[in-house]
A and B are shown apart, each in its own frame.
Chain A
Amino acid sequence: MRFSGWRVLREGLTGNKGWAPHWRDPEPKAEYDAIIIGGGGHGLSTAYYLAKNHGMTNIAVLEKGYLGGGNVGRNTTIVRANYGMPGNSEFYSHSLKLWEGMEQDLNYNVMHSQRGIINLFHSDGQRDAFARRGNTMIGQGDDAELLDRAAVKRMLPYLDFDNARFPVYGGLLHRRGGTARHDAVAWGYARGADQRGVDLIQQCEVTGIDIENGKVRGVQTTRGPIRAKKVGIVVAGRSGQVAAMAGMRLPIESHVLQAFVTEGLKPVIDHVVSFGMGHFYISQSDKGGLVFGGDLDFYASYASRGNMPMMEHVMEAGMTLMPMIGKAKVLRSWGGIMDMTPDGSPIIDKTDTEGLFIDCGWCYGGFKAVPGSGFSFAHLMATGDHHGPAAKFRLDRFRTGYGLMDEEATGAQHNLH
């Protein structure tokens, strides 16, 4: 079934009786060429690109819950390529290009909206740092514009420009940045993978990884054993538990990151805006809700919910930056489980077990990486070679100390990102 404006019109006039499910619900086979553990954004895009780019269609995605029920369905939907470190810079640049062609490629409306991201700065030093970052982005082939205070005032008249502690000096504008409909990204990749023959198996929890003589043989699941010579682990916050099934310990601590959404309002915030204080950022969904968040709660947690101190901090930051949102009522808050690495950058690599691959450590930035991560991980799984834009996401960088990508320059240590 192909989606088009004509199709929507026809279905609208004929009682919407022609729509079919977007993917099958197959029984697991006894053996596949490759298994992806984890049916989130990254797992589904990996399956899609394995099938599309590498012709591997006898593969399965195993998901313990339902497709897209984890972080891809719980994030704040921001898409951008404004990283500064070699390694991250080329990867997110590649990922953003995939975003720009995603809807046509998948024939799926992911509501990708390049509304522009503005990172505000509040001091001369911060301006210098942002100018440098902007130049790095331009050097990478992406876009960046340094806005002065007057230009920011024209775009975002509602900010408190003369705040005593954090006056707005200007902002770094990344026009190709924006948002997307998060669930639709997972669904679009799921449908694309399914159409190419990939089995998407839900309610199927992996309980063990079978390894013989240093080679992976398959997995044990709640729906029986499944054999495969290649297995990819793509389970975000649960990476530690799944890797433990293969006898591995990872450089990952799982932390909780909260996000918030208000009641639906008329259009008022036209961009994604980030505050140079406490990681606060905000955008407005197409439904009208203000979607915003801030820092991690900063303690290891699998609770999928945070505590009051960070909630209070985020609200204070929002009120400091744009007092106009004070009367909006917060509708919901939630927490996602972030797979935090010591340097704040991800891992796409082989493991010591032949045929076992891992894609993890996306910290609090996994959503924008969904297409790039799947593309590069599929390349690694299919060919055994690292894919150019993700070639620096190595697992051994923490042991050797070589190639650490500490984007925030706080030190490559747990709890600092």
Chain B
Amino acid sequence: MRINCPICGDRDRREYYYQGAAVTLDRPAPDAEEAVWEDYLHLRENPAGRTRDLWHHEGGCGAWVVVTRDTVSHKIFEVALAADVKGAAR
């Protein structure tokens, strides 16, 4: 699997750290209800197919990227800087 970093270009999966579903971009308010925090921290769509998740290019430029990919075929559709999509993840 190779991920095309918007800054560095096409790089091996080994340069990246996988954080998980991109819902983590939308952090709830500190005083949000328990259910909202559970949703954010633990509950997942876990789709078999198209998904958006967050990777850290730790072995490269250090950018956080949102990767749109297929969990069944491992095909990658889009890679965008998390800074550009923050707030629009859900």
Which residues in A have their C-beta under 8 angstroms from that of B45? 240, 244, 249
Which residues in B have their C-beta under 8 angstroms from that of A415? 18-20
Chain A interface: which size bin? 20 to 34
Within 8 A of A (CB), among B44-62: 44-48, 51, 53
**Cross-interface CB contact of B42 among A238, A240, A302, A342, cutoff 8 Å:** A342
**For residue A239, which residue of chain B has the nearest CB?**
B46
A300 and B34 contacting across the interface, CB-CB below 8 Å: no
Residues of A contacting B: mostly: mixed
B13 and A251 contacting across the interface, CB-CB below 8 Å: no
Q: How far apart are the CA atoms of A115 and B75 in the complex, in Å?
A: 42
Judge if A309 is at the interface, Cβ distance under 8 Å.
Answer: yes
Question: Closest approach, in angstroms, between the C-beta of A340 and any C-beta of chain B?
Answer: 9
- Chain B 32-47, CB within 8 Å of chain A: the 1/0 string? 0011001101111111
**Cross-interface CB contact of B46 among A250, A303, A309, A413, cutoff 8 Å:** A250
Q: How many residues of B contact A (CB 8 A)?
A: 26
Given contacts A254-B71, A301-B71, A301-B74, contact A309 B13 (CB under 8 A): yes
Which residues in B have their C-beta under 8 angstroms from that of A249? 39, 43-45
B20 and A253 contacting across the interface, CB-CB below 8 Å: yes
Known: A240-B48, A249-B44, A307-B13. 17 other contacts (CB 8 A): A240-B46, A241-B48, A244-B45, A249-B43, A250-B46, A253-B46, A300-B20, A300-B21, A300-B46, A300-B51, A300-B71, A303-B73, A303-B74, A398-B43, A399-B38, A413-B41, A415-B20
Which residues of A are interface residues toward B (Cβ below 8 A)?
Answer: 238-241, 244, 249-254, 298-303, 307, 309, 342, 398-400, 413-415
In the complex, the 7 A-B pairs of residues with the closest C-beta atoms, listed nearest first: A240-B46, A251-B42, A249-B43, A398-B42, A399-B38, A302-B48, A299-B18
